[in-house]
Structure 1
Amino acid sequence: MSLSLYINWREWLRHIRNMENKYPDYVPVIKGNGYGFGNRYLADTIYREGKEEIAVGTLEEARQLGKEYTFRQMIVLTPVMTELDVSDLVSGRIYTVGSREQLQYLVTSFDRILSDDRRSWAKTGAPFKLNILLKCQSSMKRYGFSLEDATNIQQWIHDAETDRVHIEIKGLSIHFPKEGLSFSQKKQAIGEWIETLRKSGFSCCRMYVSHLSSQQYRDICKKWPSVHFSIRLGTDLWLYDKSFIETKSTVLDIKKIKRGERFGYKQFRSLKSGYLVYVSGGTANGVGLEAPVFPRSWKERLKLTVFWGLSLFKLQLSPFTYKGKRFWYAEPPHMQTTVLFFPSKATLPEVGEELLVQLRMTTATFDRKVEMGKEMIPYERESEQQEEKGKVQHVIS
């Protein structure tokens, strides 16, 4: 039995299509665990919807998706400082660069590849075109060029280029924090970068942004009409409304246990009499994995203190619920199974029944996906293909 992700496919796809109206020309972000859906699943969905440009997190993700899909452009968001090979000599990939060292590493790596593999060099008879995106540092303080660097970037590019590798700037990229920065401050940052780079001789024709509302996005497009803006969408695209999805675990077995009786890997003694309920899903699926919490209020601090105190007595609430009630872990989750403790008077589920489980989607991995309502709506790309033939066929799951 499996840990399952149930998708209200009709409403989820409708939301994805509506995002095109809210954020024209947006760029879908597909990275990590695919926001719980899996990268291939998201890529397949967005490709069939007709999107031609995506952003991925790492070089490895670009390689993997590049083998299966023919997107016109694929942006690698994380600067590449790992080994490149001949397979990376592709034209539709754009590398994010946020420092002189990152720029030099890419050029040196590709130059070495072309030098070692003269056949690749001979195939084109022209220098390899290295497409880059200049990462502009924001108040996030993540990797990125500072405004002080802007006047030197042109020279750094000139110094880095070789006979085999030429650099082409595909645009700018700026990543804003989700909180703590007003829209006026974001506009100011965008304006400073556009103006500074123009003074340095750059033609700023494309800029990728993030964490803006639909109205804010339209406002900056109107304020700088000569710049082609695109917004990257990840969480807001795939996980904007959690009502589109349900995550469920299957009950695998139920064992009665008495107070003081030993059980499990560590042979703990049961604190009470009740039942051990074995359910699908464990650490390999993201069960029990939590992000660090930074409390902002005394209420949040008190809540964390209470949970910490309970854990000293081997009492930790699980994310599994049955009939609206959360249950305690009987012991730490196993790799693919979790053991829950149900009190003697609790209503027990049946073996094979499913329990709701609340997981952090950016760390969750599911054994199966169940699409509900998929037969109701065809994909955009497939609809166009069928309309050309004079017949529309619905996609059936």
Structure 2
Amino acid sequence: MSLTLYLNRREWLDHIRNTEERFPDYVPVIKGNGYGFGNEFLADAAIRSGKRTVAVGTVEEARELEGVYSFEEMLILTPVLAAPEYADMAESRVYTVGNLAQLKRLVEGFDSLCRRQSSIWNNGGEPFHLRILIKCESQMKRYGFEPEELSKVQTLIDDWNRSDSLRLEIAGYSIHFPTEGLSVTAKEESIHAWVQQIKKVGLPCNRMYVSHISSDLYGKLRKEYPSIRFHMRLGTDLWLHDKSFFSLRTTVLDVKDVVKGERFGYKQNRAKKSGRLVIVAGGTANGVALDAPTAVKGWKDRAKLTVFWLLQLTNRHLSPFTYQGKRLWFAEPPHMQTSVLFFPKGAKTPQPGEELKVQLRMTTAHFDRCVELGSDQEKEEEAADYEAAALLPNQEEKGKTLDVTS
């Protein structure tokens, strides 16, 4: 039983490495479900592409990856409000803070941890270095420091650095822009304003992480501010930029005849027509039929959503599965790991073992397996390329030897 991700791994990895030409020193984002590939899979790809700095979504994701992979620097994008654990006292970590309250809570948590773990934490008598990433407010209106708050940051840092348990250090700043509705000029002006504000209050400014800007603007900023190291954070635009590198398919598990009026499924609804029930791999646990809210633009979008809403009132639900170029209908809501599709009487139906195409939102998808496309020779060449480049250091020490030929 398999919902399968087919991946041309060599071309996909080449694309990831070539992204460095458009966005030098970019930082890969590894979070959530790993954009459909899984976080460990993406960490593997980042290392093979020569990346030593990555960004993760949460502190829990950092703990999981650090148990397998070794990175020189790991940015945690979501502010940490829960009490930190001893495993979080890794000086390779950089913690995002979006306002003064988040900063105070983070520092107090680590200060308390350092004092409780003083008998365990031993760094040659040196205090623990807590590195923070200051998130600047943008038009996104998510958490982020407002310009007037920055003047209070240095005072807090000076106060905390008098402690004998930890030292606070600003590792950089980040600005996260919306993907739509904001011009290139507006983004550029926002970055300029923040750089000037940071310098005005006297804070150090040697690194800035940006998102959702063009390669032209990125290059312009790096030239205009040579003393600031700009880093582009890339997630969707990195891992899912070119969907020609992968395809998604499900396996037909069984086919059953059903006659009009016959009951079937969990809810024992009656079949409205005679036909065939086709059971395929993939259900809610795989992300099937998990829809995110969409922004409606224009009358065409409204008309389309209205049609789908009216169909759902009659228990007709369009599935993400296709056969011979046509979208198929669910016979009933998908189960956890399987889905049941309806084919009307007389229609050509697939046979058990046959594969059907499926369209899924990659940020909610979980696949049963990943099959790498390409010849054995290509896989051997890939292995030789990466071994020659010496891009896989210290992995055996972390308990995992990477196999590029599998």
Q: What band does the TM-score fall into relative to the shorter chain? A: over 0.9
SS at the partner of 1:350? coil
Per-residue deviation at 1:121? 4.1
Query: Partner letter of residue 405 of structure 2?
Result: I
State the match for 1:330 in structure 2.
331
State the match for 1:250 in structure 2.
251
TM-score by length of 1: 0.95
Change in Cα spacing, 1:185 to 1:125, as seen in structure 2 (3 Å) is: same
Deviations 1:58-88 (A, max 9, x none): 0000011111111000000000011211111
1:358 aligns with 2:359: yes
Change in Cα spacing, 1:379 to 1:58, as seen in structure 2 (3 Å) is: farther
State the match for 2:68 in structure 1.
68
8 Å CA contact retained: 2:170, 2:204: no
- Matched residues in 1 for 2:44 and 2:223: separation? 33
Match of 1:377 among 371, 374, 382: 382
- Matched residues in 2 for 1:136 and 1:148: separation? 11
Per-residue deviation at 1:155? 1.5
Pairing of 1:27-176 with structure 2 (within 5 A):
27-161=27-161, 162-176=163-177
Per-residue deviation at 1:335? 0.2
SS at the partner of 1:143? coil
- Matched residues in 2 for 1:111 and 1:120: separation? 14
Change in Cα spacing, 1:236 to 1:277, as seen in structure 2 (3 Å) is: same
State the match for 1:9 in structure 2.
9
Query: Partner letter of residue 280 of structure 2?
Result: V
State the match for 1:235 in structure 2.
236
8 Å CA contact retained: 2:13, 2:49: no
SS at the partner of 2:91? coil
Q: Which moved more, 1:144-153 or 1:92-101?
A: 144-153
State the match for 2:297 in structure 1.
296
8 Å CA contact retained: 1:205, 1:228: yes
- Matched residues in 1 for 2:365 and 2:251: separation? 16
Change in Cα spacing, 1:104 to 1:356, as seen in structure 2 (3 Å) is: same
State the match for 1:390 in structure 2.
none
1:308 aligns with 2:315: no
- Matched residues in 1 for 2:404 and 2:30: separation? 23
Gaps of 5+ in 1: 387-393
Per-residue deviation at 1:122? 4.3
Deviations 1:254-273 (A, max 9, x none): 00001111100000111111
Change in Cα spacing, 1:379 to 1:307, as seen in structure 2 (3 Å) is: farther
8 Å CA contact retained: 2:81, 2:105: yes
Query: Partner letter of residue 378 of structure 1?
Result: A
State the match for 1:389 in structure 2.
none
Per-residue deviation at 1:157? 2.4
Deviations 1:331-353 (A, max 9, x none): 00000000000111221111011
8 Å CA contact retained: 1:31, 1:57: yes
Moved over 6 A (4+): none
Per-residue deviation at 1:114? 1.6
1:210 aligns with 2:211: yes
| Overall identity of the aligned pairs, in % | 55
State the match for 1:25 in structure 2.
25
Query: Partner letter of residue 338 of structure 2?
Result: T
- Matched residues in 2 for 1:92 and 1:381: separation? 25
Per-residue deviation at 1:362? 0.1
- Matched residues in 2 for 1:144 and 1:346: separation? 56
8 Å CA contact retained: 1:49, 1:379: no
Per-residue deviation at 1:381? 4.3
Per-residue deviation at 1:245? 0.8
1:396 aligns with 2:405: yes
SS at the partner of 2:42? helix
Gaps of 5+ in 2: 392-402
- Matched residues in 2 for 1:228 and 1:21: separation? 16
Residue-pair matches, total = 390
